[in-house]
Structure 1
Amino acid sequence: MRILHRYLAREIYASTAFVFAALLSLFAFFDLIHELGDLGKGNYRLPQIMGFVALNLPGHVYELFPIAALIGTLFALAQLSAHSEFTVMRVSGLSTQRFALSLMQTGMVFVLLTLLFGELITPGAERMAEQLRLKATSSVVAQEFRSGLWLKDDRSFVNVREILPDTTLLGVKIFQYDSGYHLKMVSYSDRGHYETEGRWLLEDVTQTHFEGDRTTVEKLPQLAWKSVLNPDILSVLLVVPEQMSAWNLYQYVVHLRENKQKTIRYEIALWSKLAYPFATLVMMIFALPFAYHQTRSGGIGGKIFLGIMVGLSFHLLNRVFAHLGLLNDWPPLFSASFPAIAFLSIALGMIWWMERR
């Protein structure tokens, strides 16, 4: 059985690699067409556009893993079925359960690669892509309101006018309150740089102290500001939650909870990060029932088209449930895992039905 397993794994890996090459080429082309609309904006030239497109590829790899694994497995199984190799495997004593187990063992490589891209490669590449684009187009990272970005940090409320791609803060206002939430001091700084371990260095600082009925103003060339904010937390402004690493999402969820802010969007993204790699296994199991159909029952092209439709349906259902969970305050774990559980249930039901025929 080891020989059969190695042969099956080799066929699936080859087919999936071919599918990845086709899909990534297509998505890179779409990205290129989209970015050409900003050609000439600031210093955004063709080399910068090509760099941006290349840095976006790891994100596409991560997103496409379940779809590519499904189509690659369908193609490999369709080829085995077309050449009667699947029938020979069945006659040789390879049961459906052992075939499914072999698919799962093969898919564990995809699970590890999905984790690798999702946790280590994609977040950094996406951040570099956004920094490259923002620097080239001279854009500001984020301004949630006309007055800039607002953050809550313990007993302080922080207003940042602009955040540069290197997370340098421009126009920082810090409103500090006492335990009774009476305004104690307002600090304004032209620029702030992150140093280390929760410490920022603010430049050209003006502090206004409120003491009873009197106020005093103090000007400082520099001021060390301790805060729970750090570049990892501020990176949510450069990379959307779905493209952050699970560890950074966890840190940000903890930060929001400590400041009694709503966390459901980031919790859904966190659970999706943990569940998404295993969706690849679900997609590969979903392909198994179609191996029972001979080529004359639909053709390889028909199965590939079916794989694309199923993969897109899964991707769409993932997005829909994330938004529904956010709107309806559903448990984050349910919102993140239901699509995979639903498709796994359908796949197991199809396998059971094929076995009963």
Structure 2
Amino acid sequence: MKILQRYFAVSIAQAVGFVLLAFLALLAFMDLTGELPLVGKNGYGSTQAFLYVLILIPGHVYQVMPIAALIGTIYTMAQFASTSEFTVMRAASMSTAMAAWFLFRIGVVFVIITFIFGELIAPRTAPIAERIKLSARGTTVSSEFRSGMWTKDIVKSEGLSGAATGARFFNVREARPDGRLKDVKLYEFDNSFRLRSITVAAAATYQGSNVWRLLDVTETRFSNSTVLTPGVEANLKNNFIQETSAVATQKSASKDVVSEITPRILTVSSSDPARMSAAELRVYTAHLAENKQETDRFKIAFWKKLIDPMAIFVLMALALPFAYLHTRSGGVSLKIFIGIMIGVSFILVNTLFSHLGLLSTWPALLTAIAPSALYLLLALGALWWVERH
């Protein structure tokens, strides 16, 4: 059986590799087509465009590997059926469970490769590609947003520890590819949601250890002394009334600010969750939860990052019944076309469940695992049918 396992592995690996290269070439061509209108503008040349498209390829490997595994396995199984090899294998005492075990062991390799590209390579290459594009065009990360980039953290009595004394909102007009921030504004509120200070800085650089150094700083502080007014205290327990006359403004060349916000969190906050690693999603979700912000979208993306590569097992199981269909049931090309349709339907259902889960506030794990569970039932049903017929 070791020889048979090796024959399965080599045949499927060759087919999956060919399909994967075809998909990557197609996606790279589409990416390049999308970049061509920008070539020649603001110093963005063809070399930078080709380099940008090339560096995005690892991310595409993660995206298309499950579909490539499905189509490649269907092609191999269809070839086995058309040449009656699978019939000979079954006559040599190979059961359906044994064939499924062969596919599972081969699928483990594909899953590991997918995880490596999705967790280790793509999250590092995607920011490099964006920096190359932004540097070449002379633009910034936040230039697409009218008011800049926004994020929030909790102000604590001892910097990163101690009791929470308020909240702080970061507004960054420009986040440059080198990590330097320009036109920074910090809005700090106390625990009663009263404005405590506004800090405006021309630029900011990260010093490490959660310390930002603000340059050319103008800080406006409000005393927020309590004003007791008959009738108002009964209606407003926290008394949001401020003494607007108690305002102090101070200017300084630089100021260090301790914050939970790091360049990594800033980068993640402006990134597409689909391009982030599970580790980055976990860190950013914890940050949002601590600041009492919406986390459902990132929780779903986190679980999808862990579960989607496992869908390779499900899709390869869907390919196994094609080995039981003889040539009279349709040629190899027809079976490959059916495989492509199954792959496209899986992508559509997977995306649909992501949106439905977000709109209906379903549990993130259930939202991520439901499409794979649905197609696993379909695969088991197909295997039962071919066994019976």
Query: TM-score, normalized by length of structure 1?
Result: 0.96
2:312 pairs with 1:280: yes
Residues 141 and 237 in structure 1, CA contact (< 8 A), matched pair in contact too: no
Q: Residue 200 of structure 1: which of 195, 198, 212 is its match? A: 212
Q: Which runs of 5+ in 1 are unaligned?
A: none
Give a deviation string over 1:258-314, Cα, whole Å, max 9, x none.
000010000010000010110111111110011101123211111111111111111
Partner of 1:347: 379
Q: Residue 177 of structure 1: which of 186, 189, 196 is its match? A: 189
Identity over the aligned pairs, expressed in percent?
A: 46
Partner of 1:189: 201
2:339 pairs with 1:307: yes
Give a deviation string over 1:134-166, Cα, whole Å, max 9, x none.
121222312675332222211112222222223
Partner of 2:174: 162
CA distance in 1, matches of 2:263, 2:82: 54
TM-superposed deviation, 1:240: 0.5
Paired residue type of 1:279 = A
Q: Secondary structure at the match of 1:150?
A: strand
TM-superposed deviation, 1:178: 2.5
2:295 pairs with 1:263: yes
TM-superposed deviation, 1:344: 0.8
Partner of 1:112: 112
Change (3 A) 1:36 1:30: same
Paired residue type of 1:252 = Y
CA distance in 1, matches of 2:31, 2:190: 50
How many matched pairs? 357
CA distance in 2, matches of 1:298, 1:38: 46
Partner of 1:122: 122
Residues 198 and 227 in structure 1, CA contact (< 8 A), matched pair in contact too: yes
CA distance in 1, matches of 2:66, 2:60: 11
Residues 65 and 114 in structure 2, CA contact (< 8 A), matched pair in contact too: yes
Q: Secondary structure at the match of 1:147?
A: coil
CA distance in 1, matches of 2:68, 2:370: 21
CA distance in 2, matches of 1:30, 1:177: 47
- 1:141-156 equivalence runs, <5 A: 141-142=141-142, 146-154=146-154, 155-156=167-168
Partner of 2:160: none
Q: Secondary structure at the match of 2:118?
A: helix
Residues 142 and 237 in structure 1, CA contact (< 8 A), matched pair in contact too: no
Q: Secondary structure at the match of 2:182?
A: strand
CA distance in 2, matches of 1:156, 1:103: 53
Q: Residue 248 of structure 1: which of 260, 271, 280 is its match? A: 280
Change (3 A) 1:142 1:326: farther
TM-superposed deviation, 1:180: 2.7
CA distance in 1, matches of 2:207, 2:268: 19
Give a deviation string over 1:231-252, Cα, whole Å, max 9, x none.
2212224530011000000000
Q: Secondary structure at the match of 1:142?
A: helix
Q: Which runs of 5+ in 2 are unaligned?
A: 155-166, 226-244
Larger Rg: 2
Partner of 1:61: 61
Query: TM-score, normalized by length of structure 2?
Result: 0.89
